[in-house]
Amino acid sequence: MIFNSLQFLFFLPIVFLLYWKVFNKDLTVQNVLLLAASYIFYGWWDYRFLGLILISSVVDFLVAQQIEKEGKVFKRKMFLMISILVNLGILSVFKYFNFFIDSFADLLGLFNLQVNRWSLQLILPVGISFYTFQTLSYTIDVYRKEMKASKDWISFFAYVSYFPQLVAGPIERAKKLLPQFEVERSFNLETAKDGLRQMLFGFFKKIVIADNCAIAANAIFDNYQEADSLTLIWGSILFAFQIYGDFSGYSDIAIGTSKLFGIRLSTNFAYPYFSRDIGEFWRRWHISLSTWFRDYIYIPLGGSRVKNKWFLFRNVMIIFIVSGFWHGANWTYIAWGGLNGLLFFPLIFLDKNRRNLDIVAKDSFLPSIKDAFSILITFLLVCLTWIFFRSENLLDAFLYIQRIFSFDFNGIPQYVSCLPYVLVLLILEWIFRRDEHPLKLKNINKPVRWLIYYSFIFCIFYFMPSEAIDFIYFQF
């Protein structure tokens, strides 16, 4: 089931009414409802994939209890390794097995050694990378004694499979989300209304911005050999807004939906295209994944507490290579991660990787000339990296960039009709960049607020493409 579907339009109100009107007297029954609803939501794609979530849930629930009981370090590590091997083993088979087989065959081909290629005919389960990392963080935190192992399997299973963020995040830590399933929740009208507003803006970003930009970006990338330089630049910009509107739109819908059930999810995007350097961009883009890599890989490697900057750069590169690999079994994602790591190089060696920690133009409406220039340069560099992310293979990515730098300009680029979508999003997010989302509309009288809400609803239905487009991150 996807958010932008008729099924979800009926599913959500039914679960909401049952949750608050029928099962609101007992916390356990509420959690059973959320667990059942989450399994229905996920099983709507293919019920067979529910078995993988069950395996991860059962293994980590039992392993965490053994880790907590065990006093010997060796045995604690042994149980943790069971969790890691099971979770990453499932992920590797379904997501990376064929990639490794093909890459090994290609390597042997370089030495004129031919092998028979064979692969597993597997369908990638939706959102497997997200819930795998979410449940792994639980066992690691229990091992580190940062939280207690859960004794309530219903709450834990509901935490692993919680439907608003199950298939595309945010990737929630157990120590933040799991306790919310273990305490009674009461309905808060203002929180619910804010959730609906955030959902509305999420649908606007997904349907009006992302889906319309996707049509144009796909046409440009699929026919890049025939496009001029300006059109190719425009294509990379359109994809930048497609993936942002798509992914951050999903996060807004997920966070807003969760507010309806009295459960808070983490902010996953913080207006990243207003970043002044690549370091700030990655503090604002897919925050839940970036912080996961920071806490569970970067810091254990030594983080920034290393003896010299080369080791710091090594740690950063490892994080970005792993991040690229997390996104998919394709060398384009690894190249995308490596390129982002290289963009950190000047920041690290100039000791500027921790600057720009505050919001841009915090105390003024317009940015300074310096900030505006930094935002533009950072955005263009990000668009360059997105070319690798979007391309089918490395050759296409390099040829796409090569054609950009052929300086073949033929006037106004194709698909410029998407420009209004991009400008509307930029203006809205700039004006309300200090808020969690633009539709909070603080200090605006009621008639004007409702006029704005109805305007957004009208735009969603008026500019909706004829066919629904899946969320990009479902493939991860």
Q: Which residues are catalytic?
A: 327
Nearest to 414 by CA among 190, 272, 215, 274: 215
- Amino acid in position 246: D
The span from the CA of 164 to the CA of 166, in Å, is: 6
- Residues 143, 115: contact at Cβ < 8 Å? no
Nearest to 11 by CA among 52, 40, 49: 40
The span from the CA of 166 to the CA of 126, in Å, is: 9
Pair of tokens at residue 410: 């033929």
C-alpha dihedral (35, 40, 44, 46), degrees to nearest 10: 60
- Residues 398, 331: contact at Cβ < 8 Å? no
For residue 170, cis peptide bond before it (omega within 30 degrees of 0): yes
Helical pair 174-181 and 128-143, crossing angle rounded to 10 deg: 90
The span from the CA of 406 to the CA of 225, in Å, is: 12
Pair of tokens at residue 314: 């090594």
3-state secondary structure of 144: coil
